């Protein structure tokens, strides 16, 4: 699974594999998420809590139902590994939770060990160091990650090399248009010196913060959305170009690149990639969708060569 040319260390206390060297950006992100783990495990007592959280996310739940069994799946940028563990539970799939932040992986590893989840392994490293062998995974899941690297396109080119022929890649990125509301609030917060007044205004304006009842979860969302040291914005057309240049066939997206509705029951069935006009409208409409507060868009592709 891992390249022989890289230094590999297994931490005996947690069975986490550390691989390769981390670049400056990865170290910066690791420092941030060490202080601000996201998502956290507050009030999570067992596997049922993980599964109940998965059920609230229609795309993730549909993915687990559709992907089948006996697959090798990597979550790139797994954070505290809640999704990785949810995908591992009650399956024989081989799940790899890969993240730059050791402390986040330790939270996930401890939870998995406590609850007997033995088909999820935890790897700590920098994706830009390209630690995995080529053509190994059936699915590469990379959502909310590449926009926190120094070069998202370079990161994409690396992770699709790990994918088998006919395997699927799932990419989630902050959208240039869909994230405008958050960007405005970020600018407001920074213009007021990142002080208590700015934070108060952000709490008033961000519906996600108002919705979250737990103080810990409010703070985790705030830190992730408004104080992250590395962030970039992307468009659907940009990602389609990445697909075309790297042997990835477009399958579907959320929101849809065309005018059709999203078929969550068949997320791996090929959809129309639309045109520049329909894709632009789709991204603009994210501004008015209550579930798109973070401005994240997803795109699924299939490796054809």
Tens-digit pLDDT profile for residues 82-115: 999 999 999 999 999 999 999 999 999 999 999 9
Asked if residue 198 and residue 166 are part of one domain, the reply reads no
As a whole-number percent, the residues of the chain with pLDDT over 70 amount to 98
The verdict on residue 63 lying in a domain is yes
Are 265 and 170 contained in the same domain? yes
**Residue 154 sits in the same domain as residue 33:** yes
Residue 2 inside a domain? The answer is no
What is the pLDDT at residue 253? 95
Quote the pLDDT of residue 208.
87
The reported pLDDT for the residue numbered 170 is 98
Q: What is the CA radius of gyration of the chain?
A: 19
Residue 67 maps to a domain: yes
Q: Are residues 202 and 63 in the same domain?
A: no
**Most confident region among 65-69, 157-161, 264-268, 286-290 by mean pLDDT:** 157-161
* Alpha helices, H only, 92-232: 102-114, 152-159, 180-191, 196-205, 207-211, 215-226
187 and 135 in a common domain: no
Give all strands of the β-sheet with 248-254 in edge-to-edge order. 8-11, 16-19, 120-124, 94-99, 72-76, 137-143, 163-174, 296-303, 248-254
Indicate whether 291 pLDDT > 60: no
282 assigned to some structural domain: yes
Domain extent for 156: 8-176+233-303
pTM, 2 dp: 0.93
CATH label of the domain that carries residue 39: 3.40.50.150
Instruction: State the CB neighbour count (10 A cutoff) for residue 27.
Output: 14
> For residue range 142-183, what is the model confidence (pLDDT) as tens digits?
999 999 999 999 999 999 999 999 999 999 999 999 999 999
**Residues 92 and 195 both lie in one domain:** no
Please state the domain count of the chain. Answer: 2
pLDDT of residue 151: 96
**21 and 152 share one domain:** yes
Mean per-residue pLDDT, 203-222: 87
Same domain, 119 and 218: no
Position 290 confidence tier, pLDDT thresholds 50, 70, 90: low
């Amino acid at each position: 699974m891992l390249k022989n040319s890289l230094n590999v260390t297994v931490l005996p206390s947690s069975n986490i594999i550390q691989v390769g060297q981390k670049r400056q950006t990865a170290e910066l992100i690791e420092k941030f998420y060490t202080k601000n783990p996201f998502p956290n495990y507050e009030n999570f007592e067992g596997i049922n809590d993980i599964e109940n959280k998965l059920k609230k996310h229609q795309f993730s739940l549909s993915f687990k139902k559709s992907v089948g069994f006996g697959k090798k799946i990597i979550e790139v940028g797994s954070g505290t590994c809640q999704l990785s563990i949810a995908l591992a539970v009650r399956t024989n799939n081989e799940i790899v939770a890969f993240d730059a932040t050791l402390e986040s992986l330790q939270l996930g590893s401890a939870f998995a060990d406590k609850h007997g989840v033995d088909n999820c392994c935890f790897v700590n490293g920098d994706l830009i160091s390209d630690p995995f062998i080529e053509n190994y995974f059936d699915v590469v899941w990379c959502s909310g990650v590449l926009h926190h690297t120094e070069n998202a396109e370079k990161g994409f080119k690396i992770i699709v090399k790990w994918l088998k022929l006919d395997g699927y890649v799932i990419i989630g990125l902050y959208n240039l248009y869909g994230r405008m509301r958050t960007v405005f609030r970020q600018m407001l917060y920074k213009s007021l010196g990142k002080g208590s007044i700015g934070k108060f205004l952000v709490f008033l304006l961000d519906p996600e913060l108002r919705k979250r009842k737990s103080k810990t979860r409010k703070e985790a969302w705030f830190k992730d959305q408004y104080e992250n040291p590395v962030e970039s914005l992307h468009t659907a057309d940009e990602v389609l170009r990445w697909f075309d240049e790297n042997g990835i066939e477009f399958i579907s997206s959320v929101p849809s690149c065309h005018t059709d509705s999203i078929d969550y029951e068949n997320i791996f069935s090929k959809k129309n990639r639309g045109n520049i006009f329909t894709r632009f409208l789709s991204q603009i409409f994210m501004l008015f969708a209550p579930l798109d507060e973070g401005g994240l868009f997803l795109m699924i592709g299939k490796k054809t060569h």
